[in-house]
Each structure stands twice: as C-alpha cells, then as structure tokens.
Amino acid sequence: MSEPAPESFINPRPSGVVDPRDRATAVLEILLCSSIPTQLAIGALLRLMGIPSTDAAGHLSLTFVLMLSLADTAVLIVMMVFFMHVHGETAHATWFGMTHPVREALVGLATVPLVLVGVGIVLNAIRLFAPSLHNVENNPLEQLAATPGQAAAFSLVAIVAGGVREELQRAFMLRRFEQYLGGATLGVWVLSIAFGLGHVMQGWDAVVTTAALGAFWAWMYLQRRNSVAPIVSHAGFNSLEILRVALIGQ
C-alpha cells in the first residue's frame, strides 16, 4: 500500500479567499527567484572583478557565462529553500515528492528522444509556415561550444543551470501559482511564455519552441510532483543539443 501524499499536495491551494498580502508576497518571491535580479547583480559583480561578458571579438565569454550560471544557481537554490522554510514548506516535499528518484530519472531519460523529435517537428513547422520567425541566423550560444573543451564546459552550464536550476525554479513558481496566484494552469501559461521569452536572443522560433518545452516540463512536474524527471529530461535534451553543435563544428 502506497504512502499517503503530503497534505500540501492533496490541497495545493489554501481554503477560502487568498489574503492579498500572501498574493503580493508570492509575486515578489517569483520575481526575486526569476534569475533576472540575481543575474544582474552577479553579472555586475563579475565585471567589477574584471571578468568581461564578451571576448575581444564581441562574442559571449564562456568564462563569464559559466561563472554567472553556476553562481546564480547556488544563490537561487538558497533563496527558494529560505522562502519555502518561511512558508512552513520543505524543499524535499516540493521538489522530490514521495516517488523514488531512480524511477523518476528513468522516466525523464525516456522522454529525451520524444523531446528531440517534438522540437524538430515544431522548428520545421515554424520554418515552413512562419519563416519570418527564424530571425537569428546563427545562435550566439552555439559559439560557446565550438571546440570539444568548450562544449564540455558549456554542457556543465546546460545541465546545472538549464536542467537543475530551471526545473527547480519551475516547480517552486508553480507551487506559488497553485497556492496564491490563480492555479497551476495559469502558472503553466505564464511561466512557459516567460521561459520562451528568456531565449529571445536565439530568435523567435526558439522562443516558441522553448515555450512549448517549458509547458511540457511544467506538465511533467505537475503530473509527478517530482522535479527529477523534468531535470533529467531537460538536462538530457540540452546535452544532446550541445553535442550536435560540437559535432557540426568539427
């Protein structure tokens, strides 16, 4: 007989009318944990330390991206754990639920081929029916994986900052929408659109594609109440994309 689910997952929203102060606090927590203020602050600090964001050719600096992403991941995890503690929640219940992590990892791994096929279908459909959305010829992030060494370092960013950080952020924010901001469905829409817009430098076709990916990983979390499967799926997809870029560049 399976163990009962935590009460917070049985009734994810507080009963009665949500206190406007709780709603405002949830919005503030989401904004603080969105990576925008933390990356601005960390980026400014790195520049003060003499670490430029671009190289002599004007391209993104891999060193800067690596340090920014890893520092941002650490800061955000600490912030989210703190906010959950203040609300009487636990990070384990929110991020890992009651299911076995190995099983969740296998589920996430099994979705990687499906995600790759889905992305290919979406990108080809966009370029066929809305070619104007392909407005960035060369993805600036692909320049960070031009050599095997760069690809290995960028894979670390893709796994830690892309797979781990973004999926923990997504779970944390979805919980706030469930509790205080209109429910999980609204959260999926808002967070997926924001996730897509966060990739605007890669082109509008990338915005649409990543928004769809965000919605899929959000759905996966809500179905399983465990971030391990989305983390593995996201990290696996990112890693294979970097491998593809590295092989093409050889």
Model confidence at 16, in pLDDT bands (50, 70, 90)? Answer: low
97-146 pLDDT, tens digit per residue, is 888 899 999 999 999 999 999 999 999 999 899 999 888 877 777 777 77
Model confidence at 6, in pLDDT bands (50, 70, 90)? Answer: very low
Model confidence at 8, in pLDDT bands (50, 70, 90)? Answer: very low
Strand runs labelled E in the chain: none
Establish if 5 belongs to a structural domain.
Answer: no
Establish if 115 belongs to a structural domain.
Answer: yes
Establish if 169 belongs to a structural domain.
Answer: yes
Between CA 134 and CA 91 the distance in angstroms is 39
Do 140 and 200 contact (CB within 8 A), yes or no? no
Establish if 11 belongs to a structural domain.
Answer: no
Which of 231, 225, 237 has its CA nearest to residue 164?
231
| Class of residue 29 by CB neighbours under 10 A (exposed 0-12, middle 13-18, buried 19+) | buried
Establish if 133 belongs to a structural domain.
Answer: yes
Residue range of the domain that includes 182: 19-249
Establish if 27 belongs to a structural domain.
Answer: yes
Strand partners, 54: 60
Angle between helices 166-180 and 184-197 (to 10 degrees): 140
Establish if 14 belongs to a structural domain.
Answer: no
Q: What is the pTM of this model?
A: 0.87
Which of 225, 127, 108 has its CA nearest to residue 178?
225
Q: 82 or 62: which carries more pLDDT confidence?
A: 82
Residues in contact with 106: Cβ distance below 8 Å, sequence separation at least 6, in sequence order? none
Question: How many separate domains does the chain show?
Answer: 1
Sign for the pseudo-dihedral over CA of 219, 223, 228, 229 = negative
- Whose tokens are 């589920």? That residue is 107
For residue 9, what pLDDT is reported?
A: 46
